[in-house]
Amino acid sequence: MSRCFDPDPKKSWLFAFTHPDDELAIAAWVRRLALQGNPVFLSWTHSTPRREAEARAFAEAVQVPPDRLFFAKAKDGQCPEEMPQLVLYFRDVLDRIQPDRVATGAFEHGHLDHDATNCALHGAGASQVVEFPLYHSYLTRFQKLNRFSDPAGQEILELTLDEQVWKIERARGYPSQTIWSILVAVEIWHRIQFRGGQLQKTERLRWQTHRDFSIPNAPDVLRQKIKRSNRWQRWLSALDHLRQSQS
């Protein structure tokens, strides 16, 4: 299996984000690809006019042209229930651009909307899928950012100092959200706990291997806790609705 961080300049990439600002998790890699001339396409599952403007500003910053941007306009917090429509949306996007590689947020139970984007991509027939970590899990008040719950199979991209500084500045580009203040607070905590910054120094990808969306994708102890949660029950209900719509 080829590298997740494949530098082949001929490969086309679709980055399927859920919310405008999720791209910060993998922004330096998007920038590297776009600047070296790879065909890069960006999709956002949810957006509002203001958040779409922020997403478009990110695309402009990494030199991805407007005709390579896609917006599904699903409602924030309602993406699991909208998965039947999202499957159709992603089928259309995939048919139109036929990417060599698809990157999306990991199915890892940090946010139901993130899980819905991943699941809908799978339902649309996406192949060559790699995942990046966002945060997990929705059972805890202070979720872990930029780390998989199980690091097995991950590849780590070390960022240059220029890329680290650029990512911090890009985090200011979402005034409708609190992402910048959250990242600063978490980074300070990491510096205290681990004697050095963590979040801005690396990006991570792994091949998607977990495709049974009726089972939590987490280490066993965490998996059992997730299965007992109300959010997981809501997820199963949305997954059943998706299956019925496809039968």
pTM of the shown model: 0.93
- Average pLDDT for 222-245: 97
Summarised one tens digit per residue, pLDDT across range 76-128 is: 999 999 999 999 999 999 999 999 999 999 999 999 999 999 999 999 999 99
pLDDT classification of 154: cutoffs 50, 70, 90: very high
All domains of the chain in start order, with CATH: 13-158+205-246 (3.40.50.620)
Q: Which two tokens stand for residue 13?
A: 């990439």
Alpha-carbon gap, residue 32 to 89, rounded angstroms = 27
- Residue 171: per-residue pLDDT: 86
pLDDT classification of 193: cutoffs 50, 70, 90: very low
Residue 111 to residues 19, 165, 205, 224, Cα–Cα distance (Å):
11, 27, 18, 17
Residue 156: strand, helix, or coil: strand
pLDDT classification of 175: cutoffs 50, 70, 90: confident
**Higher model confidence: residue 167 or residue 81?**
81
Alpha-carbon gap, residue 65 to 39, rounded angstroms = 10
- Average pLDDT for 1-23: 95
- Strand partners of residue 203: 157
- Residue 188: per-residue pLDDT: 44
Amino acid making up residue 30: V
- Residue 189: per-residue pLDDT: 44
pLDDT classification of 194: cutoffs 50, 70, 90: very low
36: left (phi over 0), alpha (psi -120 to 50) or beta: alpha
- Answer for the pair 226, 232: CB distance below 8 angstroms, yes or no: yes
| Best CA proximity match to 242, nearest among 126, 129, 119 | 119
